Amino acid sequence: MQNNPFQIFTDSGCDISPAILKEWDVVCESLTFRFNGAEQEYSNGDMPTKEFYQRMRDGGIAKTAAINTEAFFSAFEKALAADKDVLYLGFSSGISNTYNAARLAADELREKYPSRKIFTVDTLCASAGEGLLVYLATLKKKEGAAIEEVVQYVEATRPNLCHWFTVDNLVYLKRGGRVSPTTAIIGNALHIKPVMHVDNDGKLVKVATAHGRKKSIAAMAAKYKETAKDPAGGHVFISHGDCEDDAKFLANLLREQNGVEVELITDVGPVIGAHSGPGTLALFFVGNER
């Protein structure tokens, strides 16, 4: 039996550029951000990432907003009206309300289009971790998998999608309540860098600390070696908040230690970077567990 055509959707929490998403045939809806005291609202692509991070370094505080139900309803309906089923792979509900907005839109549309299939999956992922799960879903689709098979694959892979990251300045995590003010002050003074990950509930959790930037990056590479399902040949993505040299340093470490080539190095966009700050460095891969 021939599979029905379906459209994969995601959101800008995935930190994959519009050009690459277009190559993958993925439609992306955008969260927005604005700087304190300014009325203008931006999507990730509206401001160059270097400009965004420079504004943060200059003291700007960015606030983000989830995608609303109406935006998802409109986007999904375009595909449904074109006789395509819909699969949305969304930003972790442990971090953003975006997924819940998409779920509500899907519930409404199922009543309006009872003959079509509409699936929403909470990836419990963020940044290029979400992006990597989207990419793996597109590969299954290209293999000819039906929409239900892609959903099953994503849900089975999700608990193994590893996120490891570090930040250069703890003040941004302090603003979001991820670390205490005391921890931020002492950590910055002593050059202590947290090594964090996204847990099984899709929430940010501090796992360890390292003294200095290079040691925190080495700790991330060690986590890869310890937990990657296929250390020499798996899919690996890196994202960075205006610290490309550090991203390349991490990619070289992984190559030297494991023989693996990083498939994609991408920017941490403003939607994520507003909360983690410039100097964020993150590593994503499929492991034995998160």
pLDDT score of 220: 94
pTM of the model: 0.91
Query: In sequence order, which ranges of the chain are alpha helices (DSSP H)?
Result: 18-23, 49-57, 69-81, 98-112, 127-142, 147-157, 171-175, 181-189, 213-227, 244-258, 270-276
Mean pLDDT of the chain: 91
280-284: average pLDDT: 96
Residue range 118-165, pLDDT digits in tens? 999 999 999 999 999 999 999 999 999 999 999 999 999 999 999 999
Is residue 8 within 8 A of residue 46, CB to CB? The reply is: no
Backbone phi and psi for residue 190, each to the nearest 5 degrees, phi listed first: -100, 5
Residues in the chain: 290
Indicate the domain borders of the chain: 6-34+65-158, 160-286
Instruction: Assign residue 221 a region (left: φ > 0; alpha: ψ between -120 and 50; beta: otherwise).
Output: alpha
At 1, the pLDDT band (50, 70, 90 cuts) reads: very low
Architecture of domain 6-34+65-158: 3-Layer(aba) Sandwich (3.40)
pLDDT score of 289: 87
At 210, the pLDDT band (50, 70, 90 cuts) reads: confident
Q: What is the largest CA-CA distance in the chain?
A: 63
pLDDT score of 205: 72
**Cα 44 from Cα 290, distance rounded (Å):** 27
Backbone phi and psi for residue 246, each to the nearest 5 degrees, phi listed first: -65, -35
Residue range 226-263, pLDDT digits in tens? 999 999 999 999 999 999 999 999 999 999 999 999 99
**Cα 163 from Cα 165, distance rounded (Å):** 7
In the chain, % of residues over pLDDT 90: 79
DSSP code at position 288: S
Q: Give the angle subtended at the CA of 125 by the CAs of 105 and 177, to the nearest 5°.
A: 100
Specify the fold of 160-286.
Answer: Hypothetical Protein Tm841; Chain: A;domain 3 (3.30.1180)
pLDDT score of 238: 98
**Cα 182 from Cα 202, distance rounded (Å):** 25
